[in-house]
Homo-oligomer: A and B are copies of this chain.
Amino acid sequence: MKNRKLLMIPGPVEFTPEVLAAMGLPTTSHLAPNFVEVFGQALDRLKEVFLFPDGQPFIVAGSGTLAMEMAAANLIEPGDRALVLITGYFSDRYVAILERCGAQVTALQPPAIGDTPPLEAVEAALAQGDYKLMTITHVDTSTAVLSDVRTLAELGRRYGALVVVDGVCSVGGEELRPQEWGVDLVLSASQKALGVPPGLAIVVAGPRAMEAFRKRKTPVPNYYADWTNWLPIMESYQARKGAYFGTPPVNLIWALNVSLEQILEEGLEARFARHRRLSDAFKAGMAALGLAQVPVSLEKAAHTLTNLYYPEGVDARMLPHVRDAGVIVATGRHPALGERYFRVGHMGAVTSADILVAVGAIEYGLRKMNYPFEPGAGLAAAQRVLLG
């Protein structure tokens, strides 16, 4: 029996063999010509994968939280106003980060967990607020709520706010077109739909964001997050010249470059479509088993993960059974929902086979918990979507 479990959490996810092989390559100098080329390629490819050709990419050792702080620390000056659209735990975190950077933050709450703040409320806030920036969590991993970035970005722009998108759980899987939609900055991390082990904070900042940064009157409060330190480095590698501020995480960047190449080979449109199709299949399977999602509607549900309430009579004791059936899924992450739900990631290198295995394992877990359902009902519903 294979000892290896299928990792279906919302990050880290399953990675391709080529990406893992790159992780284990002998580390080269961060200034060696072959690494300079790899880092430069990765920066160029990031702009393509982010659909942000005019963006300035940053790749720094850190987690997604560092990427969030990097955006806030470089764009906010003390007293600036920021509007945060709350869709879960990670948008809540953005309030704390922005306040730490000296911003006066307005947090716009949704009517209920699983929902988004109403558009009218967003517009009313923007009209009153004179906000320097607005943050949108594209997919909040804690709820699986999907934000309508296109509409929100258009609103934010109209009222002069910089539009910052937390794309940690979306970039490379969920449809996102920053340049076309008028987004000013997208931040992400390596370990989700970008398909690379955790350890990279990634930001692509558009011209208006970079201009706001250049016009700052006060120093960036954080040294490690300060673009003043990193911008010359990124520009240098983009020009295929080595440079030093902090030692780059060579193996992770090598792996990122492999993954970005694979993403571009698949094509962004095909990749968005695959994530949508596999998500639809998984969600159909769960619905056939009677499991309800955390997001209030399918329109507001992400395609990179699915967050599901345990059905009547079932609780978190189901997860070890799912694991016994070979699949690791995640516990809840939203304080207000506690242990009432679980989360299943399906992004990056995920395949239709993985979806079937995950549905099958959840059926096994439900059966072990004596939940009443027709065996195979979830699998059949998922397969109907997969086979079109």
A residues bordering B, Cβ < 8 Å? 4-5, 7, 9, 11-12, 14-15, 20-21, 23-32, 61-66, 69, 96-97, 100-101, 189, 191, 197-201, 219, 221-225, 244-252, 328, 330-331, 333
Contact = CB atoms under 8 A, between A and B. Distances in A.
Contact of A21 (B5, B24, B101): B24
A4 B32 CA distance: 12
Contacts of A225: 222, 224
17 contacts: A5-B32, A11-B247, A12-B247, A14-B26, A20-B24, A20-B25, A28-B328, A61-B61, A61-B62, A61-B201, A62-B62, A100-B222, A197-B251, A198-B251, A199-B249, A221-B221, A244-B333
Contact of A30 (B12, B21, B64, B331): B12
Contacts of A14: 26
A30 B224 contact: no
Given A7-B28, A198-B251, 9 more contacts: A7-B26, A61-B63, A63-B224, A63-B249, A66-B224, A66-B246, A198-B247, A221-B222, A244-B333
Contacts of A7: 26-29
A198 B66 contact: no
Contacts of A97: 223
A30 B330 CA distance: 10
A39 to B, nearest CB: 12
Nearest to A244: B333
In the complex, which of the residues A199, A201, A330 has the most CB atoms of chain B within 10 Å of its own CB atom? A199
B247 A27 contact: no
A252 B26 contact: no
A29 B330 CA distance: 9
Q: Pick the 6 closest A-B CB pairs, nearest first.
A: A24-B24, A199-B249, A63-B246, A65-B246, A197-B251, A198-B247
Given A12-B30, A27-B197, A69-B224, A100 B219 contact: yes
A246 B64 contact: yes
Contacts of A30: 12, 198
Given A61-B63, A64-B246, A251-B199, A27 B223 contact: no
A197 B249 contact: yes
A196 to B, nearest CB: 9
Contacts of A31: 9, 330-331
B29 A223 contact: no
A7 B25 CA distance: 13
Nearest to A89: B244
A306 B54 CA distance: 43
A31 to B, nearest CB: 8
Contacts of A252: 197, 199, 249, 252
Contacts of A15: 26-27
A20 to B, nearest CB: 5
Contacts of A11: 247
A198 B27 contact: yes
Contacts of A66: 61-62, 224, 246
Nearest to A328: B29
A197 B247 CA distance: 10
A195 to B, nearest CB: 11
A379 to B, nearest CB: 24
Nearest to A242: B331
Nearest to A323: B32
A207 to B, nearest CB: 26
A88 B62 CA distance: 26
Nearest to A66: B224
